[in-house]
Amino acid sequence: MSKVDSIMTDSFQIRLCEPRDIDAVYEVCLKTGDAGQDATHLYSNPKALGHIFVGPYLRHEPELAFVLEDGLGVCGYVLGALDSARFYEVCLTQWLPALRQAHPCPTGEPSQWTPTEKVYYEYYHPDIYYPESFHEYPSHLHIDLLPRTQGRGQGQRMMAILLDRLRSLGSPGVHLGMAANNARAERFYRKLGFHELARVGPQDSGTLYLAKRL
């Protein structure tokens, strides 16, 4: 499957992301941006979240960007980075500077910031967590699916394609971060062979990092 860039599964198609998909992928990010729920009402700039979680992957790791499409359009994606250290360096030096020019860092009391302003703050202070203990799993990924696709096996199929692509590129392992209190997501990843790598922050509101050898 590592040489396959598109695969049909029932009424869904999984394929490499193309330039024409960028707006749709950003939209999926927004519509799953509130702990998996629609975050459209939270952000005055609908692309603010996508500039963190989508844009740099589409620009700098296009061979690891896959979309899920049905008759209504793009309804999910899985994105990866082969070498996390390199990816974060590229983000810092090539991706974030333009965003900083377009969006000033918010000032004043952080508790008064809007959700959009909080994202803008991350453009200047990115939340990059890649300790030495993660280096055995140098690749990373994340996946988002709209509700209409969930529970139909599409997430597992998308993960299989991306993991196979990472393996074919020589990656020895992959990691991901997720909300520590998202039991459903944790069950999904553990079913795919991921194991706990680290926990950061409070049990009920922190981040759980999972990893898998390839």
Q: Cβ–Cβ contacts within 10 Å for residue 79, how many? A: 24
Q: Helix, strand or coil for residue 45?
A: coil
pLDDT in tens, 85-141: 999 999 999 999 999 999 999 999 999 999 999 999 999 999 999 999 999 999 999
The pTM score is 0.91
Q: Which pLDDT score is estimated for 36?
A: 83
Q: Is the pLDDT of residue 8 over 60?
A: no
Q: Which pLDDT score is estimated for 206?
A: 87
Report all structural domains of the chain as residue ranges with CATH numbers, in order of start: 6-175 (3.40.630.30)
Q: What is the mean pLDDT of the chain?
A: 93
Q: Is the pLDDT of residue 20 over 90?
A: yes
pLDDT in tens, 24-45: 999 999 999 987 889 999 999 9
Q: Which residues contact 66 (CB under 8 A, 6 or more apart)?
A: 14, 15, 16, 17, 77, 78, 79, 158, 161, 162
Backbone angles phi, psi at 162, to 5 degrees: -65, -45
**Residue 32 identity (one-letter amino acid):** T
Stronger pLDDT, 84 or 5, i.e. the higher one: 84
Q: Which pLDDT score is estimated for 7?
A: 57
Q: Which pLDDT score is estimated for 192?
A: 97
Q: Which pLDDT score is estimated for 184?
A: 87
Which of the residue ranges 11-20, 49-58, 198-207 would you say has the lowest mean pLDDT?
198-207
Q: Which pLDDT score is estimated for 197?
A: 96
**Residue 136 identity (one-letter amino acid):** E
User: How far, in Å, CA of 173 to CA of 213, rounded?
Assistant: 4
Helix (H) or strand (E) holding 163: helix 154-168
Q: Which pLDDT score is estimated for 6?
A: 55
